[in-house]
Structure 1
Amino acid sequence: MFIVTVTYTAPLDEVDPWRPAHGNWLSDLISRGLLLVAGRRVPLVGGVYLAPRMPVDELDRLLATDPYVVHGVATHSVVEFTPLLVADGLEGLTSHG
């Protein structure tokens, strides 16, 4: 599983024009099960995604299609982790779930 942090590399007025395309991109990935959660960081300096287990190169290819990245207004940082303890109902997220 992966935690992806998004950091804006441009002022918000340069990020905002790409927000609708970025939102559509996120919605598509979530509907396909390629992202589990997506949200804004507080303060608004970027975002955070939770991505399921997949080959790292597949995640890299997906993230490269983010309109924010394509248009040079954000970067991604990826941390891979293995969930071991989860809340009730989320057992499918563990490596043995």
Structure 2
Amino acid sequence: MFVVSITYRTDLSQVELLLAEHLRFLDANYQAGHFLASGPKVPRTGGIILANIPSREALHTLLENDPFYRDGIAVYEITEFSVTKAAANLSELVVQSS
């Protein structure tokens, strides 16, 4: 499981230009089962994604398709963690490590 912390490198006017495309990117990855939760930071300096994907490499490859990443308007910090406790409905979605 991964927490992706996104930090904007530019002003919000540049972010807004790509927001609709970013939201489509998020929706596609929710549909694929890769993302479990996401949203903007408060204050709005970036966002957070909780990702359910087998490896850091696979996540990195996936994030390269995010327009915020692709166009260089944000930096991404990836933190991997081992899930040892989760809400019942979330634990069913956790990728089993081999």
TM-score with structure 2 length normalisation? Answer: 0.89
Q: What is aligned with 2:77?
A: 77
Which segments of 5 or more consecutive residues in structure 1 lack a partner in the other structure? Answer: none
Amino acid across the alignment from 2:6: V
| Structure 2 partner of 1:13 | 13
Contact 1:38 1:50 in 2 (8 A): yes
The structural deviation recorded for 1:33 is 0.5
Q: What is aligned with 1:50?
A: 50
1:91 corresponds in structure 2 to: 91
Q: Residue type matched to 1:39 in 2? A: G
* Residue 24 of structure 1: aligned partner: 24
Name the aligned partner's letter for residue 55 of structure 1. S
Q: Give percent identity, aligned residues only.
A: 30
Which blocks of at least 5 consecutive residues in structure 2 are unaligned?
none
Secondary structure of the residue that 2:83 maps to in structure 1?
A: coil
- Contact persistence 1:3–1:50 (CA under 8 A): yes
TM-score, length basis structure 1: 0.90
C-alpha separation in 2, matches of 1:24 and 1:64: 14
Partner of 2:39: 39
